[in-house]
Amino acid sequence: MSWIKYALKRLLMLIPVILCVTLILYTILSLAPNGLARQKLGQDASEEQIYALEEEMGLHDPIIVRYVKYMAGVCRLDFGVSWINSNNVLNEFAHRLPYTLLIAVLSVLFAVGVGVPLGIFSAIKQYSLFDYGSTFVAMLLFSMPAFWLGTMCQLLFCVTLGLLPVAGDKTWTCFILPPLILGANTLASMIRMSRTSMLDVIKQDYIRTARSKGAAEGAVILRHAMRNSLIPVITQVGICFAGAIGGAVVTESIFGINGVGMLLINAVKSRDVPIVMGTVIFVTIIVGVINLIVDLICAVIDPRIDLAS
Amino acid sequence: MAKRKKSLSEYSTGQLVLYRFSKNKLAMFGVVLLAAMALVILLGPLVVPEESVSMMHIPERFSAPGENGFLFGSDEFGRDLFARILYGGRISLFCSLAVIAIAFVVGAIIGGAAGFFGGKVDSVLMRFIDILMAVPSALLAMAIITALGNGVWKLVVALAIGQIARFARTVRASVLTLRNMEYVEAAKCYGSSSMRIILKHILPNGIGPIIVSATLTLGQTILSISSMGYLGLGVASPTPEWGTIISENKVNLQDFPHLGLIPGICICLTVMAVNFIGDGLRDAFDPRTKN
């Protein structure tokens, strides 16, 4: 049961991280100029009205007071309300999270499901045409901006060929192209990672031992090589998931999906501090939990990893 | 006296790295491609005046590439796409270099101090780096832009902060392996200052992985800057930047796909060149990784 203890320890370690991240963000975000009250009330609002609204938003307190108040709210799961439309931050986030999680999970599944076999196969057939081809594709996808690939694919498949809906999030067909676009970059790093890792493992002594004891080639690859080569790849999956949630901002704005990314980009543009704060905190927690799960999976696959230390 | 062929051990590490790098065809291709790009971007302004970036030729709007004297065609306001890509490339490339430079300097100071002094300094600094790492860098950059507002330099700062952690870790790892080398001990014995040891002995020997990491990060930074430009953060239209050029032509792409294809290919080629160089450098510094 050491893993439960380990998981709890890791989750508890998230608390100081969140505290520091929020403190830093709060300090930076409080530098944002306070033209917001005027913007909200319109040009002909009187100075008193603006002052009153700013007072209500707590903009006149010292940063540390505001921070403590904010964190006290966070402990009660009250992340404040949007400065723009007064929606509750937590509700807003919870409504949009499923869309983002869906495309992020699909994109990582796509990248792992296609990338790992491709990478492993090109390592087995090193210097073959297939190897060169997949390495080239990986390099191409790695160098391509996601927003450009997305726009161009949208143009080709949705507008010109009319195969898929151009934008939106109402039918399941809307969720075919976005995960592929979001996963393209991850796919590239998966191919590269698993190829390098497999090449590394194939050269090891225990693979030669397995061959010399007469194991079939398939068994050598599947039972001995693959299991060992997957460990660095799985670690990478956690990092990729964090990247996918960040990348969702671009994908969602291209395909008009009303997810967390869309929420964030609109909040950043209108300088809606509570929404930005809330989103960053939530995403940090989600990414932290996913990294924890990834580490636990690694420990299951590789018994050499000792969680206790 | 006949010239004797030097044996491998007579070359310095730097010479060997350079030799291995020059033997790598893809890496050399990257160098040539990037050099050509940089040359066009640097010297282009001598041929194309800066006014043509925003000069509108309404009757000649949506020219195809080569038509009406526009090498890459013109956009919906009849602005020269070539000029916009040329001047946009300056922003994309210089900003990316600035991001890497800032992140490198700050990261090297933090990571170097952590690795060299160890103990309390190390644990405090590395906790700070862990915290920076906990937030996805795209989100961190956006949060910083929320606070600072739009602007080229603000974008550079926002993206640089997101990359500090990576450099700090790389530098710390390098310093940790070198700190206990005999020549560092020797330098300490004859009373060199910490600064001198770091600059003269540790930096030149540990620079390899740092350069590799910087090059590979440069490619991703070019992508980040243009993505931010596409989203309307940082560099905003009408200032040309490769991402903003694609974004401002978004609605016209269906009829005039070249308006999106050409800037996209520019980004792709540049990033690919940088990645080839990065891969080449990695193999050259550490031949064992070469498969």
Q: Using the beta-carbon criterion (under 8 Å), do B246 and A28 form an inter-chain contact?
A: no
**Mean pLDDT score across all residues of chain B:** 85
Amino acid at site A94? A
Answer whether residue A84 is part of any domain. Answer: no
Separation between Cα atoms, residue B30 and residue B270, nearest integer Å: 9
Residue A1: the pLDDT is 66
Contacts of A60-67 with C-beta under 8 Å, sequence gap 24+, read A63/A26, A63/A27, A63/A30, A66/A26, A66/A30, A67/A22, A67/A23, A67/A26, A67/A27
Compute the radius of gyration of chain B from its Cα atoms. 23
For residues A276-299, average pLDDT: 88
Q: What is the DSSP letter of A58?
A: T
List Cα–Cα distances, B74 to A275, B42, B189, in angstroms.
39, 22, 67
Considering its fold, how many domains does chain A have in total? Answer: 1
Question: Which of the residues B37, B92, B142 would you substitute to probe the A interface, choosing the one with the greatest number of A C-beta atoms within 10 Å?
Answer: B142
pLDDT tens figures, A90-121: 998 999 999 999 999 999 999 999 999 999 99
Q: What is the DSSP letter of B10?
A: G
Domains of chain B by residue range: 24-285
Q: Does domain B24-285 have CATH number 1.10.3720.10?
A: yes
For residues B131-153, average pLDDT: 85
Instruction: Please give, rounded to a whole number of angstroms, the shortest distance from the CA of A216 to a CA of chain B.
Output: 24
For residues B143-147, average pLDDT: 85
Q: What angle do CA A226, A229, A234 make, to 5 degrees?
A: 105
Answer whether residue A25 is part of any domain. Answer: no
Please tell me if residue A155 touches chain B, with a CB cutoff of 8 Å: yes
Residue B28: the pLDDT is 92
Residue A308: the pLDDT is 64
Answer whether residue A219 is part of any domain. Answer: yes
Residue B56: the pLDDT is 76
Question: Which of the residues B26, B146, B231, B289 would you substitute to probe the A interface, choosing the one with the greatest number of A C-beta atoms within 10 Å?
Answer: B146
Q: pLDDT-based confidence at B253, cuts 50/70/90?
A: confident
Question: Which of the residues A22, A29, A143 would you substitute to probe the B interface, choosing the one with the greatest number of B C-beta atoms within 10 Å?
Answer: A143
This model of the complex carries an ipTM of: 0.86
Q: Enumerate the H helices of A86-176 as residue ranges.
A: 89-124, 129-142, 146-153
Chain B residue numbers with beta carbons less than 8 Å from the beta carbon of A277 are 143
Phi first, then psi, for residue A290 (nearest 5°) are -65, -40
For residues B88-96, average pLDDT: 90
Residue A104: the pLDDT is 93
pLDDT tens figures, A251-281: 999 998 999 999 999 998 888 888 988 998 8
Separation between Cα atoms, residue B71 and residue B161, nearest integer Å: 38
Note down the domain range covering A263.
93-301
Q: Using the beta-carbon criterion (under 8 Å), do A250 and B231 form an inter-chain contact?
A: yes
Q: Using the beta-carbon criterion (under 8 Å), do A145 and B223 form an inter-chain contact?
A: yes
Q: pLDDT-based confidence at B291, cuts 50/70/90?
A: very low
Answer whether residue A81 is part of any domain. Answer: no
Separation between Cα atoms, residue B159 and residue B145, nearest integer Å: 9
Answer whether residue A21 is part of any domain. Answer: no
pLDDT tens figures, B8-37: 667 777 788 888 888 888 899 999 999 999
Please tell me if residue A279 touches chain B, with a CB cutoff of 8 Å: yes
Separation between Cα atoms, residue B237 and residue B240, nearest integer Å: 6
pLDDT tens figures, A195-244: 989 998 888 888 889 889 888 888 888 888 888 888 888 888 888 888 88
For residues B205-234, average pLDDT: 89
CB pairs A-B closer than 8 Å: 143
Is 50 exceeded by the pLDDT of residue A39?
Answer: yes
**Mean pLDDT score across all residues of chain A:** 86
Separation between Cα atoms, residue B270 and residue B85, nearest integer Å: 13
3-state secondary structure of A306: coil
Q: What would the two tokens of residue B233 be? A: 């953060």
CATH number at residue A142: 1.10.3720.10
